Amino acid sequence: MKKISGNALRGHLDAMVLATLARGEAHGFEIMQRLGAAGRGALELKEGTLYPVLYRLEAAGMIVGKWETGATERRGPRRRIYKLARNGRRDLKRRQEQWRQFIQVIGGIVEAPT
């Protein structure tokens, strides 16, 4: 499968992160793993670019982040766990509708028989 690179993904990253978090709370690395698995290896995304997206979504009230508590067995640097906020759920629904419409309209044009 041909790789889909960062530039093509740029405009969709917010929606992709929201959709990933709709499956349950996760920290940054786990979000990346979920995206990788869902993209079946076709997504070519620099992982650091995820964090500006997370900060933007959190500032907009779409997601809520909290530091992992010390109760886990894991050692090493602290991780921040993100979950979808009510605003984010609403926004995701809106984006999904927009996406379906986009595919329907643009797909109809691009895939029209020549």
Interface with other proteins includes 77 (CB under 8 A)?
Answer: yes
Q: Closest by alpha carbon to 79, among 31, 36, 113, 37?
A: 31
CB-hemisphere CA count at 13 Å for 3?
Answer: 9
74, 86, 94, 100: which one binds other proteins (CB under 8 A): 74
In the list 3, 24, 38, 55, the residue contacting other proteins (rule: CB under 8 A) is: 55
- From candidates 1, 59, 71, 109, binder to other proteins by CB under 8 A: 59
What whole-number distance in Å separates Cα of residue 75 and Cα of residue 104? 48
Judged by CB under 8 A, the stretch of 18-26, 55-63, 88-96, 100-108 that binds other proteins is: 55-63
User: Angle 7-14-31 (CA atoms, 0-180°, nearest 5)?
Assistant: 95
Considering only 11, 48, 108, 113, the residue that binds other proteins (CB under 8 A) is 48
Sign of the CA dihedral 52, 103, 8, 35? Answer: positive
The site for other proteins (CB under 8 A) is made up of 27-29, 32, 46-49, 51-52, 55-56, 59, 74-80
